[in-house]
Structure 1
Amino acid sequence: MTIPLSVLDLAPISAGSTPQQAIRNSIDLARHAESLGYHRFWVAEHHFVKVASAAPATLIGLIAAATESIRVGSAAVQLGHHTSISVVEAFGTIDALYPGRLDLGLGRSGHRGDQLRSAGVPPVPAPGRPTEVRDGVVIPPPFFPGQLLDFSRVRAGLGALHLPGAQPLPYTDQIEDILALLDGTYVTPDGVDLHAIPGEGADIQPWLFGSSGGESAQLAGRLGLPFAANYHVSPGTIVETVEAYRNGFRPSARFPRPYLVVSADVVVAEDDATAQRLASTYGHWVYSIRSGAGAAEYLDPETAPPLPDQQRRLVDDRITTQFVGSPATVAGRLEALRKLTGADEIVVTSVTFDHADRVRSHRLLAREWGLTPQVRAA
């Protein structure tokens, strides 16, 4: 039986386009994803960069209003930028009108490279293991956060997102507070009962997201929550991430066994050569992120020059683990990823310069994967 396939959207802004058009494109893609039979449609959270998903709860509400049945959610709300109550109330407000459709994906926030550098960790790690292929899945060396070239914008962005002097709570504490607010069992440290209205009792499914075998994977396991492992962000750590979640899993009322989603970055076209051309500026985009400048506008493959070798070396792990090709090529690689990780579901993200190419990519993959098209109500 084919496992579910879902969509993660970053609301990318193409060169020459606008944030307003990117948001319209995301809503259009969500409608297509629903009609094509995708199971979920998730949006990311990014700030001060050339993607339009800075306010995930707002965007999720717009997408829920524009669709009928597909699950919608965050991948993920960056908890260091929000209070627990603001997250629960925002999602509770959406659930009031679209009950039973929301996935509340929660993730850590803030780049840890500053902490690594201030602690004296070298910006480039010692040579590690070489790239390997396990059962058809490329596993490159892990990317080390200290390899970012410039942290000035990261520091400035984090400063702008936080109130002066404010410090985020420990991640585990925030997760537990959010679960308590949803359940109606939240009590302040000084013993006062508080209730999230709206939010308490909402039919919202919490998820945790992670790119390593650290706190997020372990906490999702301990709490018996579903977990999303970010192969598309950190392909070099996928095996230990999945193992940490599974090894630490404790059954919960809703999930008697682990439920794992694994992400992949894909570009699908009618043939391998066309897909490779459409994906040829992906490395430029990833380099803009890893240079420290943040995600830039996505470049037109027809006019952008090739990525210089020195820049490519910084992003080679992401280029080699992007799933690019014909429907059969990409579906075959996704199946290999499923087998390696034991994923219960795959979530795909796709970035192309032309929105029509992105829609076509999802359509071709849905057909090859065997998704059942949905008919919207009249």
Structure 2
Amino acid sequence: MTDDTAVKTAEDQADAGGLRTGRGDVKLGLLEYFDFTPDRPRHEKQRNAMEAALLADDAGYHRIWIPEHHGPNSPSSSPLLLSAALGTRVHRARVGTAVTLLRIRDPYLTAVDVAHAVGQSPAGFDLGIGRGDFGGPGSESVDHLRKNDTQFWGALDLLTSLLDSGSAALEPLELPYERWMHGAGGGSAEIAGKLGFNYCHGLFLNPNLDDCLRQLETYRALRPDVGRTAVAMTVLTSDRSAATVPNVRRQPTVLNASGTIQTCAEAILRVGRMTGVDEIIVAEVSQDPALHQKAVTGLYQAVFGRSE
């Protein structure tokens, strides 16, 4: 979906303080640590991402999620660790993973890390699970951890059991947190509904809006008026967007909207209205850190009709 197809106008924009859809007020979240610029050091990407996340917390974003990507250009190979660090510094926003790749992770050690992250995140923590894998160069490094589908479901059962009931080596997690299943049209919505998870649809992985609507309908039929829903989308907000769009193709995603901050805010509003989700999670992918940080604050203000 581009701004040509996703955006019309912001005439249905919320009253100040709320983005309205047919399902009520919609919250805005941020997917951060999404800089895959090849020539920028990892520690610099992580520092920039932390600064942007703190700006998002100040602005009023409801959630800040961190993805799991592996490879030399990724700033977020360990989202639970990064989420715990972020959780100690935010004041209002929930933090969490989007996603934790349980297919290549040990369920016991993941439960330990989740317990630590929840304890470090007084504003709230979200555990996001994805069914994906680590592919491409270097993926053979985790062959000894990789699980087939049957093993994946066994690991998920063990993880949730450890968090709920504990074991001889791990106390049950008593602090509240949220569980999310992430997907893009491959059946994760149905799985989330049956397991009692919330569901987030990755429009930046599959930009087909009809697929998104079908998955949301499936989920809502299983968890009517109970489970929360979200759509995650990528935007590029820059006055120089025409020159920087080709660079976004280096990201492991597709671009859902580009243009000015106002144009991208209208795209966010339109996706919210069309899907009726509870939340929109936005990944802003400007490569210039200053432009990105400006966009993080500007998007929130534009979506909710606020000015500095």
- Give TM-score, length-normalised by structure 1: 0.68
Matched, 1:325 2:298: no
Change (3 A) 1:174 1:371: farther
Q: Give yes or no for contact 2:29–2:281 (8 Å, CA) kept in 1.
A: yes
Change (3 A) 1:350 1:100: closer
- 1:267 corresponds, among 228, 236, 239, to 236
Matched, 1:277 2:243: yes
Change (3 A) 1:167 1:241: closer
Change (3 A) 1:281 1:97: closer
What are the within-5 Å matches in structure 2 for residues 1-378 of structure 1? 1-2=18-19, 3-99=26-122, 101-110=124-133, 154=136, 157-163=138-144, 169-184=150-165, 194-195=167-168, 197=170, 200-214=173-187, 216-236=188-208, 237-247=211-221, 249-250=222-223, 256-269=225-238, 273-283=239-249, 285-286=250-251, 289=252, 318-319=254-255, 322-370=256-304
Structure 2, gaps ≥5 residues long: 1-17, 20-25
Change (3 A) 1:334 1:19: same
Q: Give yes or no for contact 1:107–1:210 (8 Å, CA) kept in 2.
A: yes
Q: Give yes or no for contact 1:103–1:204 (8 Å, CA) kept in 2.
A: yes
- Give TM-score, length-normalised by structure 2: 0.82
Amino acid paired to 1:197:
L
Tell me the SS of whatever aligns to 2:37.
coil
Structure 1, gaps ≥5 residues long: 112-152, 187-193, 291-317, 374-378
Q: Deviation per CA, 1:309-330, whole angstroms, max 9, x where unpaired?
A: xxxxxxxxx34xx211223321
Q: Give yes or no for contact 2:103–2:146 (8 Å, CA) kept in 1.
A: no
- Aligned sequence identity (%): 23
Computed over aligned residues only, the root mean square deviation of the Cα atoms, in angstroms, reads 2.7
Number of equivalent positions = 283
When Rg is computed on C-alpha atoms for both structures, the one with the higher figure is 1
Higher relative contact order (CA 8 A, sep 6+): 2
Report the alpha carbon displacement of residue 39 of structure 1 after superposing the two structures with TM: 0.7
Change (3 A) 1:162 1:196: farther
Amino acid paired to 2:89:
A
Determine the C-alpha separation between the residues in 2 that align with 1:196 and 1:282.
44
Report the alpha carbon displacement of residue 101 of structure 1 after superposing the two structures with TM: 1.4
Q: Give yes or no for contact 1:27–1:63 (8 Å, CA) kept in 2.
A: yes
Tell me the SS of whatever aligns to 1:276.
helix
Amino acid paired to 1:220:
A
Determine the C-alpha separation between the residues in 1 that align with 2:159 and 2:45.
30
Report the alpha carbon displacement of residue 82 of structure 1 after superposing the two structures with TM: 1.0
Determine the C-alpha separation between the residues in 2 that align with 1:276 and 1:351.
13
